[in-house]
Structure 1
């Protein structure tokens, strides 16, 4: 089962070079990207091959737990070219939100495969506790310094989950001028994803078949199959990134990026549903969600980074907007202080806020239309498409052990609060907690040798 790892909040690490690190960090899809943040390279250049290993734990309160391991090999063939090869393994398990609303009575839902069902107690959030997935990703990134202050970079990646396969290629070109105080960059990336949902892909806004509504197992299976589309589906993503970096003085630099992303194909989450409720707020049935098969996203990014007497400070702002009417603002800062030549501490602060997509609905009312209780083509109750705000507070400590070795560990706290986008909550739902707070802890251990 595919769990989206908050992609709207992607961190990019293991940059190819100092120049291209600002390029890759802007948000395009690159082979070097992942959800971890490795220690920065020391001033000492690696000889031949250098290895970095990291282990990250992500745990939500009463929900999903993730364990991720990363192994990165960085090779320098000469002073002008290098190759990064990275292996990532994720293990995810726990309870995942379905999109259905809380009720004052117990609820019974059919599992995505159709083989079994699960019950939710009265007053409890509707979570599917069968979520369990593994992901393996392999990527390679190459860079080459050319003449006249030009640099070329490229990469490939592939990842595989039980129901999701992702392949991609990327390339970047950048040029330094003005005595190397200015850098302009252009990057392109293409990704192809294949979705093979457990139990098949639900028809858009189809009603969930439940055994309790049928006299026999045969009748239930026929209804379940009738709500499904056979075979797999695909999604294509094309990213374009324009960047500019300017050295302001001997301590400060400013970076700006513009990104454009075009996504075509299957973008519905096959495991999310909506509750169809009456005027008393009582659920009558569950409908599978439906999302558009096209999305255009744009982003603006500004970063100010400075070298202090015994540390480094960066401040950044990102604004994203798309034709789903989902806009977001991100403010983020890192402050690293060197207590000694071999020991540093880093403070991380991040604030994120987004508006709701135009088709986001926390629930559907029976009188909203004539087809399955809803007249529009698209609808989703996925909180990741709703109005929300989140913040992250974290601390990282690092030890330089000599001979190019470094050990670091990071601990962060994440909190997310979903909000009502103005939807009327009928009857009993006005007294229920439909927008619970999500809390998570992130712990990471990294070692470079």
Structure 2
């Protein structure tokens, strides 16, 4: 989330922007021409209808110690509660599922999407980023972050270098980021394709488990070009490559095995590949109209899981007297992963990998929102953002046998996002 509306020199901050696209740089924008600390704070609420609720707080600090030498720090705290889809299919009868800990169970009413209501989590993340000139027309940046949840720990580093040309109208940049994650799910790591046991089977906890934890590594590369077109237009082009190796299965997701009439016979734990290579291209254009600015971006992503996605994003910045308003529209469309299946027919050979998680399925999403910000005394700003989000999973071509034709297999998810931010 963007916490500040200050407009510092683009060349000074391009390094931070590039690392931010890698997902590692703080979101705070460094203050220009000052040796004082600047703070950006935000509180965000995200709520899905009858599902997940999240509350996130951010405080970011930035300071310029000397010419073009910036330190950025950020602390993020968030909590998540509610219910999350476990991947099983809805049924015309009540279903009972074992909780991830193996020490209890929960019931799902007839025709309802199976949701695990034990979803609880909290996260603490700290980011630090330092940028400075390396030589004439060269800017460099290094940073690190650490993030901790009750079942997930992540540590990451990043570095970036940018070279300016043609009176700073053209900038080429290269960034690299690496992360090491440890996954320690509640109840341990389930054995892929093993059956979810019930509490009645006698202490399901610890059964069908590979171990207590596993890890994965991620390496991201980014190549960027920023070009000032004229006094009113600036463009940015990026290509990024990401390689992920290690445990990528969601330990809390299952897949239903159904008979020819669509009735669920058993639940199996999902399995995903232990490697993933992602590519994406990104184009952003900002154009200054007479009294406003339009910001348009497009991203295309593809990977070796056969996931392909398109993201269109438009923001329209409209200045007001001592304030501004910014409408926002975002559209997202995704093709399903090659191993996505909403269910598995009994008797069919098991594929090498399988997941019924709608997040790797076929879907589209639409976000509509608006931001309003006002200038306050002392070079401070107060802003409010409200957005509505609709995510619609779709059937990528699977036939639905028997009773599955009478239940909702691809249920839409609606959410509201509300944020208040204060910069000083």
TM-score, with length taken from structure 2? 0.95
Q: CA deviation at 1:320?
A: 0.2
Q: Which consecutive unaligned segments of at least 5 residues does structure 2 have? A: none
- Which of the numbers 309, 313, 319 marks the counterpart of 1:332? 313
Report the counterpart of residue 169 of structure 2 in structure 1.
Answer: 181
Report the counterpart of residue 295 of structure 1 in structure 2.
Answer: 276
Question: C-alpha offsets along residues 364-392 of structure 1, whole Å, 9 cap, x if unaligned?
Answer: 100212xxxxx212000000000000010
Q: For 1:176 and 1:358, how far apart are their aligned partners in 2?
A: 42
- Which of the numbers 386, 404, 424 marks the counterpart of 2:399? 424
Q: For 2:259 and 2:359, how far apart are their aligned partners in 1?
A: 25
TM-score, with length taken from structure 1? 0.90
1:429–1:332 distance in 2 versus 1, CA, 3 Å:
same
Larger deviation, residues 144-153 vs 54-63: 144-153
Kindly indicate whether the alpha-carbon contact (under 8 Å) linking 1:13 and 1:32 is maintained by their aligned counterparts in 2: no
SS in 1 for 2:72: strand
- Which of the numbers 68, 76, 81 marks the counterpart of 1:88? 76
Question: C-alpha offsets along residues 198-247 of structure 1, whole Å, 9 cap, x if unaligned?
Answer: 100000111000134x3xx3xx44xx534101131101000000000111
Q: CA deviation at 1:110?
A: 0.3
Q: CA deviation at 1:31?
A: 3.5
Q: For 1:282 and 1:397, how far apart are their aligned partners in 2?
A: 50
SS in 2 for 1:160: strand
Report the counterpart of residue 353 of structure 2 in structure 1.
Answer: 378
Answer yes or no: is 1:97 the counterpart of 2:72: no
- Which of the numbers 32, 38, 55 marks the counterpart of 2:26? 32
- Counting only pairs closer than 5 Å after superposition, residues 175-324 of structure 1 correspond to structure 2 as 175-212=163-200, 214=201, 217=202, 220-221=203-204, 224-324=205-305
Q: CA deviation at 1:350?
A: 0.4
Q: For 1:145 and 1:305, how far apart are their aligned partners in 2?
A: 26
Q: Which consecutive unaligned segments of at least 5 residues does structure 1 have? A: 1-10, 370-374
SS in 1 for 2:18: helix
Q: For 2:163 and 2:51, how far apart are their aligned partners in 1?
A: 46
Report the counterpart of residue 152 of structure 1 in structure 2.
Answer: 140
- The runs of at least 4 aligned residues of structure 1 exceeding 3 Å deviation read 11-18, 44-47
- Which of the numbers 16, 19, 39 marks the counterpart of 2:14? 19
Question: C-alpha offsets along residues 10-35 of structure 1, whole Å, 9 cap, x if unaligned?
Answer: x677799532354245x3131425xx
- Which of the numbers 368, 387, 390 marks the counterpart of 2:348? 368
- Which of the numbers 94, 102, 115 marks the counterpart of 2:103? 115
Kindly indicate whether the alpha-carbon contact (under 8 Å) linking 1:31 and 1:169 is maintained by their aligned counterparts in 2: no
Answer yes or no: is 1:392 the counterpart of 2:367: yes
SS in 1 for 2:195: coil
Instruction: Quote the RMSD (CA, aligned, Å).
Output: 1.7
Q: For 2:15 and 2:175, how far apart are their aligned partners in 1?
A: 10
Q: CA deviation at 1:79?
A: 1.8
Question: C-alpha offsets along residues 319-340 of structure 1, whole Å, 9 cap, x if unaligned?
Answer: 0000000000001111101012
Question: C-alpha offsets along residues 391-415 of structure 1, whole Å, 9 cap, x if unaligned?
Answer: 1011000111132211111000000
Q: For 2:25 and 2:208, how far apart are their aligned partners in 1?
A: 37
Q: CA deviation at 1:117?
A: 0.3
Q: For 2:65 and 2:16, how far apart are their aligned partners in 1?
A: 19
Answer yes or no: is 1:358 the counterpart of 2:338: yes
